[in-house]
Amino acid sequence: MNRILLIALFALASIGSSIQAQQKADFGTLDTYHNFKSKHFHSRDINVWLPEDYTPARKYAVLYMHDGQMLFDKTTSWNKQSWNVDSVAAALQNEQKTRPFIVVGIDNHPQGRLFDYMPRKALNYIPEGDTLLAKYNLDEFIADKYLMFLVHELKPFIDKKYSTLTDASNTFVMGSSMGGLISLYAICEYPEVFGGAGCISTHSPMVLNGSKEEAPIWAKALRDYLTDNLPETNSRLIYMDIGDKTIDEFYIPFQPLIDSIFSDKGWNSTHYESQFFPGHAHDEDSWEKRLHIPLLFLLK
């Protein structure tokens, strides 16, 4: 278990890092906005994927995805893997299995990724007197600023630039690992903005330093936050999943505890789905294999 935690620490810190080359799509087109500015923090690249038949005469749902460096082009990613979002999304739309939608990929900031994506308000649920957070500068946890950027700066730009359906029932957010955490946090903090969240291989233990002993404390803080802050029961769509290889093995004891929160609150399978994928690892190759499942759940 300690070995898994050490691997997790390295992977969580590096996932999404890239050589910052221009991504290309095999299906549809990518519009790239380099160094998209924010008044809240550092700029980052934004890639907007449009289906091949995109036309301003039609309105499109919007899926916002984190770790944008890893979404479309494996030749530019740090580990030579990608979600191949363009391929999966194009196939689903061409087969008319989902409504028409576009994808907005938000690049991470590799040096600040963990702090951008860690649900800041969940840390308030760590018991008073616990020294767990003493090693951190809490001002560095800026997930609330990241969500302000997404909701108040990026979304208005996308809705003005593209032909979108702007309501919550057509606005979604998705990510993996820490990106799954920030997606879950987004729908709790902004249920009026997001109608659904896809939380893939979510880093539900939240632990950042690889300590086996600390993981249950971090994980319980997240669960307590969710208990108090989930959207109204069955008012939104929330999808979660895990595998059982590499880092995902570490998540196996924690995900059922989150599932129980939804069950106890009366969420039904139409609005909350949690899946387990034996043999799937904590990497883009695994996420690509099952990406169609959350897309169908959110955008059918």
Separation between Cα atoms, residue 76 and residue 59, nearest integer Å: 31
Q: Does 10 have pLDDT greater than 80?
A: no
DSSP 23: P
User: What are the C-alpha distances in Å from 237 to residues 64, 106, 277, 289?
Assistant: 15, 21, 20, 21
Separation between Cα atoms, residue 174 and residue 233, nearest integer Å: 20
Please give the average per-residue pLDDT across 262-275, as a whole number. 98
CATH code for the domain of 120? 3.40.50.1820
**Concatenated DSSP letters of 212-266:** TTTHHHHHHHHHHHHHHHSPSTTSSEEEEEEESSTTHHHHTTTHHHHHHHHHHTT
Quote the Cα angle for 30-52-152, to 5°. 45
pLDDT range class, residue 123, cuts 50, 70, 90: very high
Q: Does 126 have pLDDT greater than 70?
A: yes
Please give the average per-residue pLDDT across 183-195, as a whole number. 98
Tally of structural domains, the chain = 1
What digits encode the pLDDT tens for the residues 218-241? 999 999 999 999 999 999 999 999
Token pair in block for residue 3: 């070995």
If one counts every other C-beta atom within 10 angstroms of the C-beta of residue 54, the result is 16
Separation between Cα atoms, residue 300 and residue 296, nearest integer Å: 5
Q: What is the pTM of this model?
A: 0.93
User: How much is the pLDDT for 20?
Assistant: 57
Domain of residue 30 covers 2-299
User: How much is the pLDDT for 76?
Assistant: 86
